[in-house]
Amino acid sequence: MVYRPHDICSAAFLNDTQRVRLLATREAPGGVIDNDEDPLEDAEEEAIDADPEMLSLLAQYELGDVSEEDEEGGDHAGAEDDVERQHADLALFRRIVRRQRREAALARAVDPPGLLQVGPNPVALTSHGLFFRCAESQAGDREGPPQADNDGIARTTGETALPLRVSWRPSKRSPIRASPLHWAVLGRAHAAIRLLVELGADARQEIRHDVGYGGGAVSGIAPEALAIANHSRETLKVLREAVTARNLLLERRSEEKQSIECRLEQRKARREKERLSREQRRTQEEELEESAYSGIGESVDQEQDYNS
């Protein structure tokens, strides 16, 4: 095949990572974020400001500007420092939200199922769907007793159960659509697998087709099950490593968000404690003033009584 595929499923199957990235980013404005310091477009900035997670954070941990009360209470420098750190933490959280929104858009571009387009040139393409084939398992293909699953099924005869192994391949006779990650696994396209998972492809997405063979529906086939069924051990290893790396990245991001929220909570609690302390001091000062005025009044009354 001498031409570049025009659809993401075929690009994934052929391990054309440049085309996969191009087709994915075409559907996601802004594409992959290579640098968090890249300037935001107006539309993207407005979308981040309107993001529910961002709105909730701003409403919950708003500190406000430094007030005269902070200066009077001797906490002016600390209050200014709190506001500066607050802005820095909110900016960091905005970058995380930005990356999440961009990755969600990329995931929507790389998850929809489709057919494989195969042909000698772009005007002579034939659509291929996912097709399964059953064959009797060879010795050593399966371990343990035969059982019905995505890896194989058991065909029972009069005396013994012969294990049948189900494998998957493209076929122009099949209408079954699969996600780009399924096609990459089927094509043993390791670089494409890593890229798709990095872009946010759902590794747990299952093939679901309403019209199955033999009157039943085809469902429950995730990319990992596809690799297991086809005995693509190296491909399975690459897929699992990519998913593990992606999960670790998401865990670190979640921990970073929790750390930011913890700092915001502590800062808000400290400001609230300082505010209550100022109010308490003010109340005490007012009580002392009232007590002093009361003492002066009593002294004047006593002096007037003495003179009379």
Q: Which residues contact 102 (CB under 8 A, 6 or more apart)?
A: 28, 30, 31, 32, 33
Cβ atoms of residues 36 and 253 within 8 Å: no
> E strand or H helix at 256, and its extent?
helix 233-307
Q: Of 4, 87, 104, 1, give the one whose Cα is nearest residue 44.
A: 104
> Which alpha helices (DSSP H) does 29-135 contain, by range?
42-49, 52-60, 68-72, 76-110
* CA–CA distances in Å: residue 46 to residues 55, 94, 100, 159: 12, 11, 15, 70
SS3 288: helix
Residue 187 in tokens: 């094509």
Cα separation of 204 and 225, whole Å? Answer: 10
Cα separation of 22 and 74, whole Å? Answer: 57
End-to-end CA distance of the chain: 121
Cα separation of 229 and 182, whole Å? Answer: 12
Residue 115 has what pLDDT? 94
CA 165 from chain centre, in angstroms, equals: 36
Residue 295 in tokens: 């003492």
In order along its 308 residues, the chain shows pLDDT tens digits of: 456 788 999 999 999 999 999 999 887 766 666 555 666 666 777 888 888 888 888 888 876 555 555 555 555 566 677 788 888 888 899 889 988 888 888 998 899 999 999 887 777 888 999 888 777 766 545 444 334 444 444 444 455 666 777 788 999 888 889 999 999 999 999 999 999 999 999 999 988 765 444 544 556 789 999 999 999 999 999 999 999 999 999 999 999 999 999 998 888 888 788 778 878 888 877 777 777 666 655 555 555 555 55
Cα separation of 225 and 208, whole Å? Answer: 14
